Amino acid sequence: MIKSLQTSAWMLNLLLLVGMLLSGLMSGMFGQVNLSLAEFFAGLFGQGDVGITLIVQELRMPRILLGMLAGATLGYTGAALQGLLRNPLADPGVIGVSASAGFGAVTAIYLGVAAVSAYAVPLFAMAGAFVATAILMFLASRDSSVLTLILAGIGISSLATAGVSLMMNFASSPMSLQDMVMWMLGSLENRTYDDLMLAGPLIIGGWLLMVGVGQGLNALSLGSETAHTLGIDLNRLRWRVVLGTALSVGATVSVCGAIGFIGLMVPHFVRAFIGHEPKRLLLPSALMGGLLLTLADILTRLPIGHGQLRLGVVTAVIGAPMFIYIIFKTRESMR
């Protein structure tokens, strides 16, 4: 029975990987200029029309890659945090890093430095995420309880949200207010290789910190004391997940804005297929996150609302009903 679960988990991973690559392909072909499969590949390898090559290499590829990185980060960290906190309601926002990155970005817009340099918003956002992580570590380092961690995260999140409101309150012009709101709704539009170079290494660094945490998360299913007696170093596990999340989600939010729901709901989707074992959720959650975010990004290009449909809005509008459906289907086993 255990063997068959292992096999079906790998089948699911394979399926999701193929799905993610296909969605990436669709994302490359679909947009203001629709390309055929042949045109896309010709553009990708620089062998076709110069205009098409420019569209594929400079506009679509960074967007596809960033979308996959961001989606995978949100899915993976969502699953890891739910495992660490042993709470199906946890999401990457719970440690306060996303809200703080948002505060950093809004501050850059408020101060007007966003107009000076394209790097200003992501750098300010990263600074926000960094400060939040430092405060979190200071508040939660005294003891190893997850409750302290959650409460510290909620505190930091509330403070950052208050800061965002303050910036909006004092925004000097309707234009900058609109910029703030738009940024907070999340987007992959007009992202370049520069954004990818800025965020990519930090995102991957965060992932590397979290490699191999699954076993500890599995042990935590039996409570922290039993996990300790199974040989797990809980303090190390906790900081690997928290710092890995802070780094990868902080970088993601810095370049993509706030994208809700992926981190919360993706692990639930995966559970519907392969059960609740925390370790087994990690990889499929990353792949499904990448898949769903890429699909959502394709939807933002539909000619709805004058092309102003934002990524965070799509993930929430589609994600929430799907989430409710999944909870309805699996509520029996959650008791």
Rounded Cα distance, 86 and 225, in Å: 14
Stretch that binds other proteins, among 62-70, 167-175, 212-220, 294-302 (CB under 8 A): 212-220
Q: Left, alpha or beta for 189 (phi > 0: left; psi -120 to 50: alpha)?
A: beta
Cβ partners under 8 Å of residue 173, min gap 6: none
72 within 8 A of 289, measured Cβ to Cβ: yes
Regarding 89 and contact with other proteins (CB under 8 A), the answer is no
Per CB under 8 A, the list member of 218, 273, 299, 323 interacting with other proteins is 218
Q: Contact letters (x/-) for other proteins, 315-334, by CB under 8 A?
A: ------------------xx
Q: Does 78 bind other proteins (CB under 8 A)?
A: no
| CA 39 – CA 185 distance, rounded (Å) | 32
265 touches other proteins (CB under 8 A): no
Query: Per CB under 8 A, does 335 bind other proteins?
Result: yes
Cα(150)–Cα(140) distance, integer angstroms: 9
Phi, psi values for residue 232, rounded to 5°: -85, 130
Q: How far is CA 300 from CA 179, 265, 303, 305, 310, in A?
A: 18, 20, 8, 10, 6
Any contact of residue 50 with other proteins (CB under 8 A)? no
Stretch that binds other proteins, among 29-37, 58-66, 182-190, 269-277 (CB under 8 A): 269-277
**Nearer CB in complex with other proteins: 60/240:** 240
In the complex, what is the shortest distance from the CB of residue 283 to other proteins, in angstroms, rounded to a whole number? 11
Q: Which stretch binds other proteins (CB under 8 A): 36-44, 58-66, 127-135, 226-234?
A: 226-234
Q: Which of 102, 105, 81 is nearest to 92 (CA)?
A: 81
Judged by CB under 8 A, the residue of 127, 149, 219, 241 near other proteins is: 219
For other proteins, the binding residues in 278-297 under the rule CB under 8 A are 278
Indicate whether 277 belongs to the interface with other proteins (CB under 8 A).
Answer: yes
- Find the part of the chain contacting other proteins (CB under 8 A) among 93-101, 165-173, 209-217, 320-328: 209-217
8 lies in the binding site for other proteins (CB under 8 A): no
Size of the chain, expressed as the number of residues it contains: 335
Nearer to other proteins, 222 or 324 (CB): 222
Cα–Cα distance for residue pair 63/189, rounded to 1 Å: 7
231 near other proteins, judged by CB under 8 A? yes
In the block, tokens 């899915």 appear at: 75
Q: Does 14 bind other proteins (CB under 8 A)?
A: no
- The yes or no reply on residue 3 touching other proteins (CB under 8 A) is yes
Task: Say if residues 109 and 179 touch (Cβ distance below 8 Å).
Answer: yes
DSSP string for residues in 37-59:
HHHHHHHHTT-S-HHHHHIIIII
In terms of CB distance, is 135 or 326 closer to other proteins?
Answer: 326
Shorter beta-carbon distance to other proteins: residue 84 or 309: 84
Measured between alpha carbons, how far apart are the two ends of the chain, in Å? 23
Enumerate binding residues for other proteins (CB under 8 A). 1-3, 5-6, 86, 212-216, 218-223, 225-226, 228-233, 275-278, 333-335
